Amino acid sequence: MSVPGVLNDRYEIGELLGRGGMADVYKAQDTRLGRAVAVKLLRADVARDSQLQARFRREAQAVAGLNHPFIVAVYDTGEHITNDHVRDSAHLPYIVMEYIHGRTLRDLIRSKDINIEQAVNYTMGVLAALDYSHRAGIVHRDIKPANVMVTEDDHGVLGQVKVMDFGIARTIADSAATMTQTQTVMGTAQYLSPEQARGENVDARSDLYSAACLLYEMLAGRPPFTGDSPFTVAYQHVREHPALPSSFNPEISPALDALLMRALEKDRANRFQDAAAFRRALRAASAGVMPPEPRVSQAPIPAAARLPSTGVVSPSPSSVLTDDDGPSTRAMAKELAGGALTTNDGGFEEVPDVPPSTKRRRTAWMVTLFILLAAVLGGGAYLGYNLLQSRPPAVQPVAVPFLVNSPESEALNQLRDVKLEPHSTEEYSATVTAGQVIRTDPAGGTSLNPGSTVQVYVSKGPSTVTIPEGLAGRTDADVRALLSSLNLKIMPNDMVNDGSIAATLVVTTDPAPGETVPAGSSITMKVSNGEILMPSLFDLTDDPEQVKEVVTAALKAVSPFLEVTFSEAENTVVTPGLVTGQSISAGTTVPQRTTVNVTLAAAPVTVEPPAAEPTPEPTPKAKASEKAQPTATPDPPAGDSGKGQ
């Protein structure tokens, strides 16, 4: 079947992003909201398997309920009905998810672009996502670098992690490395928990083991176990202990070494029991504080049970050996029997009788052994009688340490040092810093018998949080870290126009700084996009003498980064000196550092006619000449002839 072009008359399917055993992931366009999304679509070749369809729908319903900033958001679910004229139509369920622009941790690890601080921060985000999903009853089962993305902006700056792929689709590059059993994904070998490798049921602690493998690889540049095949690696997860990550990266602190060894314990009872505890210990270890010891100590793995990296489990000495097991197996049976058995035509029979001298030596050894055994038993009986008759020594009580305002990890270690069993509970406190002890029950100074349980109440910070003032002009990372430390959830940024704040710096928050909100509230940071709206510069004043000053002030009020120049143009209508034009129209979005030219009216230039030249006075000689000449008598006009005669 071909891939549908449009789902639900809304999602236009684009390029293929990933492919797994059950579903494919495509980039798509949400035509209704005009945004890019990722669509996970059940493959047509498995669509008629009712069990797979039911599993996909259950997964879609579960993941659709997750809403966390460190988990890829799910926007919509639905079902596409194919129109196959050759075969019956099929129902293809799909999930519409947030499309993330960024890089996977696998790509960052391969390019060696992760330092220790970033590795800790990324793991903290993954653990926060797992804590949320585990509380919602969902176990990821396949935490690995390829399933964790780090967002990236247009400038290549990396942001926060996004956990994706909750057990349905697999990326194309990792499909070959995924171990499956009857079409049920068990996990990727290099990040497989021991219980997954043994085929046991998994729980939240299995995800934490995989998260520890993820942190190990980011710190050391390689996974904790490697091998020629997935089965070899899975065997190592069950039987072998990983090398300290500092043996591959000397910059790793002993506290991080100890934390990873605790998190990679074979027995899940010895690991961190929930993501919140792992996260707190990781935060403390990054500051150099050693993690607490596990409550249950794990017995060392016998050397005889370890094998070379073949992935084959050795038979135990109690294995049943038959004639069909071959010469080497029969030789092993003979060796285990201490030479008391031998083979005859492929079977087993007793060894022939030994000489009398040998029998006498054996009898003497048996008598000696019997005497020694009797002495030991007698001494043991006597000692046991005395122990039963004697009173047990009085139990020496221990005092509960004073732990108020101590860091949680330090407080738990102090209780264990005096042989008390700590149990921590988080609650809000307006006076005690988050992560520190509010009180203990019993209180400090109380005498208890060793092994008694002490309840430790750890602060989650205040139940309400006041958003700090003075965030404007600070970097995204700075404000994000500050708000996260106040137990606030950071939503995706909202880019806004602001003339006074440079691009990529924080303008404000929603809710605004100074407001008081419940702990754990979602906060949106408004970040400057470096652009402004050009204002209108007309009719700001009627005084030509103040125009330049008023226009400059109006632009600086919009943005101190705007520049202005002035020019003049003749205008017969507008009063000279007033604004007649601006080079950038009002309402236009422009970068902050833009220069606008303002045109001012100039009076038209009037051209005066040339002045008449004066008639020069005649010289004396000319005057005499004029007198010498006879004066002509003009002719009388017509009609006047004869008058006056």
Across the range 359-387, mean pLDDT stands at 70
Write down the mean pLDDT value for the chain. 78
CATH of the domain at 435: 3.30.10.20
pLDDT at 457 over 90: yes
Residue 600 three-state SS: strand
| Whether residues 427 and 445 fall in one domain | yes
Q: Is 492 domain-assigned?
A: yes
Asked which of 47-56, 502-511, 554-563 is least confident by mean pLDDT, the reply is 47-56
Tokens of 324: 């069909």
Amino acid at 585: S
* Widest pairwise Cα distance in the chain: 210
Chain length of the chain: 645
| Whether residues 188 and 115 fall in one domain | yes
pLDDT-derived band at 513 (thresholds 50, 70, 90) equals: very high
Q: Is 109 domain-assigned?
A: yes
Q: Is 114 domain-assigned?
A: yes
- Overall pTM > 0.75: no
Q: Mind listing the pLDDT tens digit for each residue in 104-132?
A: 999 999 998 899 999 999 999 999 999 99
| Whether residues 73 and 186 fall in one domain | no
Domain that holds residue 554: 532-600
| Whether residues 468 and 545 fall in one domain | no
Integer Cα distance of 529 and 238 in angstroms: 52
Tokens of 241: 């202990």
Q: Is 377 domain-assigned?
A: no
pLDDT at 614 over 50: yes
Integer Cα distance of 590 and 503 in angstroms: 12
> What pLDDT shows up at residue 76?
86
Report the share of the chain in percent with pLDDT over 70: 75
Residue with tokens 């909202």: 494
Closest CA to 53 of 24, 25, 79, 84: 79
Q: Which of 410, 437, 459 is the last residue of a domain?
A: 459
> Which of 291-303 are b and which e, b meaning 16 or more Cβ less than 10 Å from the residue's Cβ?
bbebeeeeeeeee
Q: Is 383 domain-assigned?
A: no
Q: Mind listing the pLDDT tens digit for each residue in 514-530?
A: 999 888 889 999 999 88
- The contacts of residue 501 (CB under 8 Å, 6+ apart) are 472, 473, 507, 528
Higher pLDDT, 542 or 337: 542
Q: Mind listing the pLDDT tens digit for each residue in 189-223?
A: 888 899 888 888 888 999 999 999 999 999 999 99
Integer Cα distance of 43 and 189 in angstroms: 24
| Whether residues 152 and 256 fall in one domain | yes
Q: Which of 585, 600, 615 is the last residue of a domain?
A: 600
| Whether residues 169 and 214 fall in one domain | yes
| Whether residues 13 and 142 fall in one domain | no
pLDDT at 627 over 70: no
Residue with tokens 């004073």: 402
| Whether residues 238 and 90 fall in one domain | no
pLDDT-derived band at 385 (thresholds 50, 70, 90) equals: low
| Whether residues 247 and 277 fall in one domain | yes
C-alpha distances (whole Å) from 514 to each of 89, 114, 433, 469, 519 are 58, 36, 20, 6, 14
Element housing 6 (H / E): strand 6-7
Integer Cα distance of 46 and 59 in angstroms: 16
Integer Cα distance of 343 and 142 in angstroms: 51
pLDDT at 85 over 50: no
Residue 15 three-state SS: strand
- The contacts of residue 171 (CB under 8 Å, 6+ apart) are 18, 19, 20, 146, 147, 165
Asked which of 196-210, 346-360, 387-401, 590-604 is least confident by mean pLDDT, the reply is 346-360
Q: Which residues make beta-bridge pairs with 510?
A: 524
C-alpha distances (whole Å) from 370 to each of 363, 373, 378, 383 are 10, 5, 12, 20
pLDDT at 391 over 60: no
CATH of the domain at 244: 1.10.510.10
pLDDT at 537 over 70: yes
Amino acid at 120: V
Burial of 324 (0-12, 13-18, 19+ CB in 10 A): exposed
C-alpha distances (whole Å) from 176 to each of 171, 187, 217, 529, 622 are 10, 12, 20, 43, 126
| Whether residues 524 and 584 fall in one domain | no
Helices 116-135 and 204-220 pack at an angle, to 10 degrees, of 170
Alpha carbon 333 to its chain centroid, in Å, reads 56
Across the range 97-107, mean pLDDT stands at 89
Q: Which of 70, 98, 126 is the last residue of a domain?
A: 98
Q: Is 184 domain-assigned?
A: yes
Does 40 appear as a known binding residue? yes
pLDDT at 565 over 90: yes
CATH of the domain at 44: 3.30.200.20
Active site residues: 142
Beta strands in 129-241 (DSSP E): 148-152, 158-163, 178-181, 184-188
Q: Is 49 domain-assigned?
A: yes
> What pLDDT shows up at residue 593?
85
> What pLDDT shows up at residue 185?
38
Number of domains the chain is built from: 5
Please, are residues 93 and 44 in contact by the beta-carbon 8 Å criterion?
no
Q: Mind listing the pLDDT tens digit for each residue in 134-146?
A: 988 888 888 999 8
Tokens of 636: 């009388």
Q: Is 378 domain-assigned?
A: no
| Whether residues 137 and 227 fall in one domain | yes
DSSP 8-state symbol, 592: S
> What pLDDT shows up at residue 467?
92
> What pLDDT shows up at residue 581?
92
| Whether residues 107 and 245 fall in one domain | yes
> Which of 143-153 are b and which e, b meaning 16 or more Cβ less than 10 Å from the residue's Cβ?
bbbbbbbbeee
